[in-house]
Every structure is written in C-alpha cells, then in structure tokens.
Amino acid sequence: MPFQMQREFKCKSYMLVRVSPEWLVKAWYGKTQFKTPPVACISNNQLKITTFKEYGQGMRSLSTVVNMEYVREESAREYCFEIPNCFRAYLHHLQFAKEVRLRFEKHDVHIVAETPSFAIQYKIQHLAPKQDVYIQTSSADISLEVGTEDWMHICQTMPHKGQITIECHTKKRMLTIKHSKNNWGACLMARSKAPTYKKFVCGSDIIRFCFKPVENLPAFGSISFMECGVFKWESGYMKVYLAPQTDE
C-alpha cells in the first residue's frame, strides 16, 4: 500500500470493511435503476444490501459475512446508508479485485482496491444515513418450508404482467399459485400441512424481479403469510418481502 494511504489510515477514526465487489454488484442488481435507492447496513460483521422494487412493493435483502475493523472508541459500530448511483457505478468497475476495503468516516466512504502491483483509492462524500429496514414477525404468521430451487423456477416462469395469487389450504401441504388471466398456474408441495387457509395477491412483475436466482442458498426456504398482510420468503442469506396488491 502506498505510504500516503498508510498515514491517512492511522490518523483518523473510522470503520473498515472488507468485501467482494462482485458480491456487492450482484446484491444490488448491477446497473439496474431504482425509484428508491438501495440501502446498505453494516453491523456485527455482517453487511446487508436491501433493494426495493416500485417504492417498496417488493423488497429483497442479501447478507454476507465481512471482516470489520474499528479505530478509536468513537468509531460507529453500525453503519446504514443509502447507496448512491456513483457508488454502484464505481464498484461495477472494480470487479477485477478479489476484495475492496470500504473505510467509513462519518458520512464519507473511501474505496480502496489493490492488486500485487497497484492500489487505487476513491472517496465518495455525503452518504445519506438510513435506518435498517425489516418487518417484525408475529406468532400469528403462517410459515411453511418449500424447496428453494422449485420456488425460484416457479417465480421465473410466471407471466411478466398481471396479478399472482398464492394460497395455502387448511390441513394440506399443497400450495396453489394462479395468474389473474387464468393462462398460467402452478402448485408446490410444502414439507408440512398448513394450519389454516391463507391468501396473498401481488403483481407478477414484482415477484419475478425479487426472486432472481442467487448462488449457494439452502435446499429449503421458508415462506410466511405474515399477520400484517406481507408475504415473506427467507432462505439462508436471502430475504424477500412482498406487499399485498389487489388492483388489476
């Protein structure tokens, strides 16, 4: 590392995170434009990227374990911010690196990438602070385990437009998934029977977008008909929340 970077690292309070740039780019859908910018939250050696479809009708978060370092006690132990387009665009060009170092100082981030023969650093100022985004669970939520790959295949074969209705049926393992135009349908076997009937309706385009396949997920995932009306999917480091939408 150049001497100037070493000296700068030693002079200030900061949080330092090491992460794969390729993972980051995949987590926030590459160069896809969003009406609501993605949010990053770093806490307890974990980095979470949350993306929003159509102002939050669909919300997907991917998490990964990261190495974190702190300098001085006043350094923040948690950092959540809105990811600006310039941050995403710059990381897109750093995918040649195995990892990058993100050094957070107040509302600025220094991005450092190294190879055996060179090092580069870029500073982005005035990151907008954000709160972590999640939806509280309830004992009244109805959760069922289903095959992860099976669920992904079903979602990716849905029509691009229209409404999708997902239903579980009392004392049955079979879930039914139907399109509003009655030109597409699917069924999926859960690992256990549903205790009661539940129904959820959402736009097909929202579901297709949120359930882009990702690597290294567990064989089974959990779907939940939440008491608040939201549909939740969770499998390994991936979570998806879908808001109900009944208008044609």
> What is the number of other CB atoms lying within 10 angstroms of the CB of residue 65?
11
Would the pTM of this model clear 0.85, i.e. be above it? yes
Residue of 79, 95, 107 whose CA lies nearest to 31: 95
For residue range 12-30, what is the model confidence (pLDDT) as tens digits? 678 899 999 999 999 999 9
Chain centroid offset of residue 237 CA = 8
Q: What's the average pLDDT block by block, 10 residues per block, for the chain (248 residues)?
A: 41 84 96 94 94 92 91 67 96 96 93 94 96 89 97 96 96 97 95 97 96 93 96 97 81
Model pLDDT, residue 1:
39
Model pLDDT, residue 13:
77
Q: What are the residue ranges of CATH 3.10.150.10 in the chain? A: 3-124, 142-242
- Are residues 212 and 27 in contact, defined by beta-carbon separation less than 8 angstroms? no
For residue range 160-172, what is the model confidence (pLDDT) as tens digits? 999 999 999 999 9
Chain centroid offset of residue 31 CA = 15
**3-124, CATH topology level:** DNA Polymerase III; Chain A, domain 2 (3.10.150)
- DSSP SS3 for 81: strand
Which DSSP state fits 128? P
Model pLDDT, residue 76:
55
Model pLDDT, residue 2:
40
For the domain 142-242, what is the CATH superfamily, name and number? DNA Polymerase III, subunit A, domain 2 (3.10.150.10)
